[in-house]
Structure formats: C-alpha cells, structure tokens
Amino acid sequence: MDKRVRDKKSVRDVDVHGQTALVRVDFNVPFKPGTTEISDDSRIRAALPTLCHLLERDCRLVVCSHLGRPKGQVVESLRMSPVSQRLSELLGVQVAQCSEVVGDEARSMASAL
C-alpha cells in the first residue's frame, strides 16, 4: 500500500469530541418523477456510519451537499428540504437547513450548534 494512503487519517483517528466538523457528502439523490419524493436514499444511507460516529462523540455537524446542477442559481425544484427531512428520519435528530453556504446566516447557524 502506498505510504501516503496508509498515513491518511479518517474521522475515527481524530478526537472530535466537542468539535465542529464540516462534512461534504454526495446527497444528489433521485426523485420520483414530478415529485419531491426520494426514490433511492442509498447515497444518504452511505453517509450514516460517518455521521453517526461523529454525533456519538458529541461532534457538531455542518453537512454540505447539493442537488442537480443549478449553475449558481436558486432552483426551487433542487432545494435540499426532502433530503434534510430524510436524513433527520434516518438519524433520529432534527436536521436544520440553511439557505446560504456562506454569510451571516450560515455563520450564525453553525455557531448555534
């Protein structure tokens, strides 16, 4: 195995207790045609081991993802609401959603965790 790969740390190698972690995930899930109902949540489920590991260690999470390719525009059909709702169901905790990725609202929500 390449030394660079062998020496990389995972979240399981770091003391995250009481820390805030930014976790980039691929929650670009498919929807049933003409609805906002998720047809396959496997991408969300794939992130659960990492997210649960962090939550079990009292780590505050900021999870970032996207839907589709909005090309810098706000596209109502690509809102993350159905994804955050499904993630909340799977984790058994409330998942708040921020309409910004940078700026005062994002900073305020991250600070309130």
Q: Confirm whether 1 is domain-assigned.
A: no
- Separation of alpha carbons 17 and 58, rounded Å: 5
- For residue 36, the enclosing domain spans 16-69+76-111
Q: Confirm whether 28 is domain-assigned.
A: yes
Q: Confirm whether 10 is domain-assigned.
A: no
Buried b (16+ CB within 10 A) or exposed e, 61-71: bbbebebeeee
Domain count along the chain: 1
Q: Is the per-residue pLDDT at 94 higher than 90? A: yes
Q: Is the per-residue pLDDT at 108 higher than 80? A: yes
Q: Confirm whether 4 is domain-assigned.
A: no
Q: Confirm whether 60 is domain-assigned.
A: yes
- Separation of alpha carbons 53 and 71, rounded Å: 33
Q: Is the per-residue pLDDT at 3 higher than 90? A: no
Q: Confirm whether 100 is domain-assigned.
A: yes
Q: Is the per-residue pLDDT at 7 higher than 80? A: no
Q: Confirm whether 27 is domain-assigned.
A: yes
At 95, which CATH number? 3.40.50.1260
Average pLDDT of the chain to the nearest whole number: 89
Beta bridge partners of 24: 64
40 near 32, Cβ under 8 Å? no
Q: Confirm whether 3 is domain-assigned.
A: no
Give the model confidence (pLDDT) of 34-88 as tens digits: 899 999 999 999 999 999 999 999 999 999 998 888 777 777 778 889 999 999 9
16 near 51, Cβ under 8 Å? no
The pTM of the full predicted model, rounded to 2 decimals, is 0.84
Q: Would you state the pLDDT for residue 77?
A: 79
Q: Is the per-residue pLDDT at 11 higher than 90? A: no
